Every structure is written in structure tokens, then in C-alpha cells.
Amino acid sequence: MDAKSTAKEILKNVGGKENVTANVACMTRLRLGIKNNDKVNVDALKQIDGVLAVVQADTLQVVLGPGKVNKIAEPFADLTGVALGSDTDDEESDDVKDIAKENKKENKAKHDKPLQRGLQHIANVFIPLLPGIIAAGLINGLANVIDYQTGSAFVTDWWYMTIKTIGWGLFTFLPIFVGMNAAREFKGSAILGGIGGTLCLGVTITGSPLSSQAISMPFTNAPYTVGVGGLITALLMGIFFAFLEKNLRKIMPSVLDTFFTPLLTVIIGSLLAVVFLQPVGAWLTTAIYTVMDFIYTKLSVFGGFLLSSTFLALVSVGLHQALTPIHVLLNDPTGPTKGINYLLPILMMAGGGQVGAGLALYFKSKNKRFRKMVMSSIPVAILGVGEPLMYAVTLPLGRAFITASIGAGFGGIVASLFHLGAVSQGVSGLFGLLIMQPGQQWVYLLALLVAYAGGFVVTWFFGVDEDRINEIYPE
């Protein structure tokens, strides 16, 4: 089945284009905003050729795999008439809005998990940024190696500096994009959120007196500093600007709305944000680094085990993307880790634990149908696409999912012990070799093999329940 046919089948089984309010493509999943969940045929979706799994949360997530999701997402967006990464709220009639609001209320009653919904919103802010973050991270990592190995021999070549500028530029101006996406996600004007994001740039404005005289903040008399709080502050500003804009619009006379609502949003929002939100953002950023440092440095190998062994649980409910802001912070060349992400390689061991568990299930089970399903899932899991193995094999079995997670923890110990670091994100499994720090590829491979072995051994002795297998996968 080609990409367009797959897109048509998905659209048919989610209730047609009238039932789709948003479509966003992330690394492996097509995330859909749905008006009426009763019109979604989840079982039929799972049977579509190319669909690996379906996750129901605040959004409907159709798991398609890396690369393939982009090929299907584009024709799907054409069929719905909703641009990728956007929604139809602005075009809806009042009647449709009322219906959607009622259905959303019903859906929330079914999935009343405030924390999960909040993390989904944050994930939706950062997911559209992933392609740029991946590209820029790889460019920065490779450029650092080239400069070191060649003694900066290419810094006078226009083509090399053009490529370096791309990597530098994305992370320098990333707060603007975060502010825009945050405002859009919380139903405000994206451009106003982007203006809020400019307050988080670590660059001095042309003509600013900052270099010639001190500027003090109110209440604390602390010096005014540009870029305080970074991406976390940009996220908060985008959310706050959206909130402020919506409430100003409610009280603003229609004749003045076009001019004064954006003006007051920017002015009032900026002043309040600099005084109150930037200190909060700076505190949260420091807290994140402190927690990460405690887990990584103080807990050492136990921290590595804890992180890698619990990551599959996040993936299973589609919340792993909520960690994207942390990965972005760690891959920022101007951050404390200088662009090296020490968390990601530990989490990547979760896929290794699953591969080991899958192999144990394959060799120990006598169920031919089940063994065929396992073996068809293992090759792609080795390459870093673990959804088929998790959703079709380990997660339904329950016990095997737990033993796979425990096995992954042993790979996390090795990743932590040897201080593995990634220069970007977006891939895992064997493809994770591409984003490791130069010189660490063999150690990464060792950690992955340990995760395979851990998942295999723990599952072999504690995770194989033949009765359960035969119950779920009758021959």
C-alpha cells in the first residue's frame, strides 16, 4: 500500500476529515486532534498496512515509524485540508466549536489525567522543532570534530561557515520558535509568542546601553540580564502571552481589537514576564540541571539503571516526547554540558532491553504464530524502531514488558559508567552510533549489547508465560 492509500485508510477510520482538527508529525507518530472519539475505529486502524500501533491519549497517536510518518503525513494533511502542525480552530463555525468542545469534555472525562495532558501540551510545542534540532545538533557535533582535527582549517571557507551558521543559528534563536509554538499550542497568536521569545535570546540588542551602564531590575535591584531562563522561560512566555491575548480580546471593543490587543499583549506581557516569569524560568532551568546532575553524578550507575529501566513506561503511553525540552537544553552548545546530551544514550538502552526480551520470547516459546510475530518485529527494533515489538509483543504480555525494562537498566549502567554522550537526537538502536560523540561508538555498542543480554536473561528466567502467550495469540 502506497503512502496516499495508507493516508486515505487512516482518514476513513478516524471519522473522515470533518472529525480531524489537527495533525502533527513527530519522529514516529502522526498525532491527530479528534472532535468525536466515538467515530474512531481503533481496531481497524491497527489493521492498516503500515500502522505499527495506535495510542489513545489527549491526542490520537498513529505509530508509523521514522521516515514513513512524514511520507504519510503530507498526503493525510492534503486530504484533511489541515496543514501539518496546525489545527482548524480558527476556521470552525460556532456550532462546530460547540460540538468539538462538548466532545473534548467527554474525552477528558474518559482520560482525566491532568499531568498527562500537560505533558502532551509541552510535547506538542517541541515536536515540530525536532527536524531542525536534529540537523543543527549533528552539524555542531561534526563541526567541533572537524575544527579540532584540522586546527580550524576551514573557517575561512564560505561553504563551511555557511553550514556552521545553520547549527549556531538554530540554537541561538530557538527561544523565538519555542515562544511561537507555545503561543499557538495554547490558542494564542504565534507571532506574539515569538516576540516574547526574543526576550530570552542570549544576544545584546543593537544600540542597547547594556554595555555602557548598569540597568537594575525592580524590587530586587538585580542587574538586568538578557536571555535569562532560556528555553524554559520562552515556553512560559508563549503560554502567558496566549493567556493574556485571549483575555484582552474578551474585553476589548471590536473596533479597537485589531490594534490594541496585540499591542497591549506585547507590552504588558513583556514587562510582567521579565519581572516575574524570567526568574521562574531561570529557577526551573537550574532545577532541571540540578536534578539531572544528581541522578547522573550522585546516583551514578544506579541513576543510569533507574532512568533506562523506567523509560519504556513513558514510551508506552506516548509521553516520552515530553522529555524533548530537556534534550534540547542538553544539546544546546551554550548550556552547561556544551551541547553533549548525557541523558539520551541512557534512555536509548530501553530499546536494547526490548530486543533481548524479544529474543528470549522467540527462543523459549512454542507458539509458532507468536514466534513469527516476534521475529518480524526484532529487526526494526534493532534499528531503533521499537514500537512494533512493544505494542504487539511485550506490552500485551505484561510480565515481558517488565523484564525488558529491567534488562534495559543494565545497558543504562554501562552508558552511565562510560559517560556516553550524544551530539543530537532523533534516532536510536544501531542508528544511535551516528549521534554519539566521536570515539564513543564502540562503547555505545557495548552498552547496547549489555542491554540485549540483560533483557534476554531476565526475560528467559522470569518473563515467559506460555499460558498467557497462548491466550493472547491463539494458534
Residues noted as catalytic:
26
Residues ≥6 apart with Cβ < 8 Å to 53: 46, 63, 387, 388, 390, 391, 392
Q: Tell me which residue of 381, 428, 304, 471 sits closest to 52, measured CA to CA.
A: 381
CB 176 within 8 A of CB 201: yes
Are 226 and 209 contacting, i.e. CB atoms less than 8 angstroms apart? no
Cβ proximity of 91 and 27 under 8 Å: no
The answer to whether the beta carbons of residues 27 and 426 sit under 8 Å apart is: yes
Q: Scan for cell 540554537, then name that residue.
A: 171
CB 62 within 8 A of CB 27: no
Q: Output the 3-class SS for 192-207.
A: HHHHHHHCCCCCCCCC
Q: Find residue 20's DSSP bridge partners.
A: 34
Largest CA distance in the chain: 79
Contact at 8 Å (CB) between 229 and 277?
A: yes
192 within 8 A of 162, measured Cβ to Cβ: no
Rg (CA), the chain: 24
- DSSP states of 292-346: HHIIIIISHHHHHHHHHHHHHHHHHTT-GGGGHHHHHHHH-TTSTTTT-BSSHHH
In the block, residue with C-alpha cell 470552525? 92
* Residues 6 or more apart in contact with residue 320 via CB below 8 angstroms: 311, 314, 347
Q: How far apart are CA 167 and CA 150, in angstroms?
A: 19
The three cell numbers locating residue 131? 527536524
Q: Which three cell numbers stand for residue 3?
A: 503512502
Closest CA to 198 of 280, 278, 282: 278
